[in-house]
Amino acid sequence: PASGHVTIVEVAPRDGLQNESRLVDTEDKIRLVDLLSDCGYERIEVTSFVSPRWVPQMADAPAVMAGIARRPGTRYAALTPNMRGFEAARAVHVDEVAIFASASESFSEKNINCSIAESIERFRPVAEAARNHHIPLRGYVSCVVECPYEGAIAPAAAARVARLLADLGCYEISLGDTIGRGTPEAVDAMLSAVLDEIVATKLAGHFHDTSGRALENIAVALERGLRAFDASAGGLGGCPYAPGAAGNVDTLAVNAFLKARGFSTGLDAEKLARAARFARSLRSAA
């Protein structure tokens, strides 16, 4: 069996809750993060400092960050698309910030209202400020295999944007199958192109599970040497600008899948099950 450590980055409080149709109470968000903190994560993505007009669900980002109990050893991260978001995140002592680009021009326009090239220019001052303040910077590439507006995305397009984010100083690039339509074959071809640019240890997989193939895609990525995966307690998630996208792959499933293959994750499965139950209770009634 394989061995070694795999990092699971928990994204339910951000990717999960941003997509709920009803507004979740700030206290419930704090409780979710606190339950997750108990599980032993290295990193939890807590919220986004984005425009409340674009994503009303994340409007309470400062209150959530200020309200959580921080476990030593866990890094609490947030999305920061521009300097305004970065400064707001810094004011409440976010441990890690993330910028988010797309391999698809249409998704970039829909999600952050600018082209890919413009987004890189907007991220440049954020990256510089993160470096100056010694705040770790993560980068996301959305639509690495499929776009809800353009269909299939060329592996070279994903590799190009990943390279641009790495050049901005991102210590890790999370590769997003935003709408969960990636097949293992497409994911493998995408990874092959990205790995020509960036080493596997600087990459993470971010698989939405719309088609139920996220675990197969993780298996392909593990084979390619990736050792970090984003997952969501209770399988919560989606993106308001990616119609039809289901949640991220369920953390409990990823944890069990990795354990069965001989990897360690450092997570407590029982506590995780408790956090996942609470996460699911926050879901809007279908």
Tell me which residues are annotated as active site: 239
Provide the minimum distance between the beta carbon of 138 and Mg ion in the complex, in angstroms, as a whole number. 13
Task: Please report where in the chains the tokens 């976010």 appear, as a residue.
Answer: 94
Between CA 139 and CA 213 the distance in angstroms is: 23
- Local structure of 221: helix, strand or coil: helix
- Residue closer to ligand HMG by CB (options 103, 252) is 103
For ligand HMG, the closer of residues 38 and 95 by Cβ is 95
φ, ψ for residue 101 (rounded to 5)? -115, 180
Residue tagged 């600087």 (tokens)? 202
Which of helix, strand or coil describes residue 107? helix
Residue nearest ligand HMG, CB atom distance: 176
The backbone torsions φ and ψ at residue 106, rounded to the nearest 5 degrees and listed phi first, read -65, -40
Site for Mg ion in 22-81 (CB under 5 A): none
CB nearer ligand HMG, residue 181 or residue 206? 206
The smaller minimum CB distance to ligand HMG, of residues 13 and 85, is found at 85
Q: Which of 140, 154, 151 is nearest to 193 (CA)?
A: 154
CB nearer to ligand HMG: pick between 89 and 272: 89
CB of 250 to ligand HMG, least distance (A): 15
Closest separation between CB of residue 84 and ligand HMG, Å? Answer: 4
Report how far Cα 167 is from the mean position of its chain's Cα atoms: 19
Q: How far is the CB of 72 from ligand HMG (least distance, A)?
A: 27
Structure tokens at 192: 């092959």
| Residues contributing to the site for ligand HMG (CB under 6 A) | 15, 18, 48-51, 53-55, 79, 81-82, 84-85, 100, 111-113, 140, 142, 176, 178, 206, 208, 239, 241
Q: Which does 133 bind (CB under 5 to 8 A by kind): ligand HMG, Mg ion, none?
A: none
Partner interacting with residue 16 (select from ligand HMG, Mg ion, none; CB below 5-8 Å by kind): none
Output the smallest distance, CB 82 to ligand HMG, in A.
5
User: Cβ of 202: how many Cβ atoms within 10 Å?
Assistant: 17
How many angstroms separate the Cα of 282 from the Cα of each of 17, 198, 232? 8, 37, 13
Length of the chain, in residues? 286
Considering only residues 2 through 31, tell me which ones interact with Mg ion, judged by CB under 5 A: 15
| Footprint on this chain of Mg ion (rule: CB under 5 A) | 15
